[in-house]
Structure 1
């Protein structure tokens, strides 16, 4: 990422810089999930994901079911890169 102003990066730029779980871990970025229905936020355990799915697993464009008991909602993954103007939806 060669630009000097990280706050001007697009979601596609961040996706390129942290395409896989291994790259996100190496970048030390925070990833969390947020349920679209009940709004539960949980920090993603990237090391567990890498252990179970592999370091080359891609979270971008993925969604999963909410972990709150009884909630039928789906969660969106969000990433918080260093220097970003805000959190980036990994949709």
Structure 2
């Protein structure tokens, strides 16, 4: 990323900078999930995801079921890049 002001990056720019789980790990970005139904937030274990799916696995555009017992909701992955204005939905 060549621009000087990270606060002006678009979600697409962040997606290109951290396309895979391996890239997100090397950038040391925080990733968490948030349930759309019960609003439970859990920090994503990127190292575990990398071991299970590989470092080339892509979280962008993915969703999974909520981990709270009994909740039928789906979660959205969010990334918190360094220098971003806020968290970026990985939709």
Name the TM tier (shorter chain).
over 0.9
User: What do you get for the CA RMSD once the two structures are aligned?
Assistant: 0.2
TM-score, with length taken from structure 1: 1.00
Alignment of 1:1-91 (within 5 A): 1-91=1-91
The normalised TM-score by structure 2 is 1.00
User: Unpaired segments of 5 or more residues in structure 1?
Assistant: none
Q: Tell me the secondary structure at the aligned position of residue 42 of structure 2.
A: strand
Gaps of 5+ in 2: none
Tell me which stretches of 4 or more aligned residues in structure 1 moved more than 6 Å: none
Superposed displacement of residue 63, structure 1: 0.2
Aligned residue pair count: 91
Q: CA deviation at 1:4?
A: 0.5
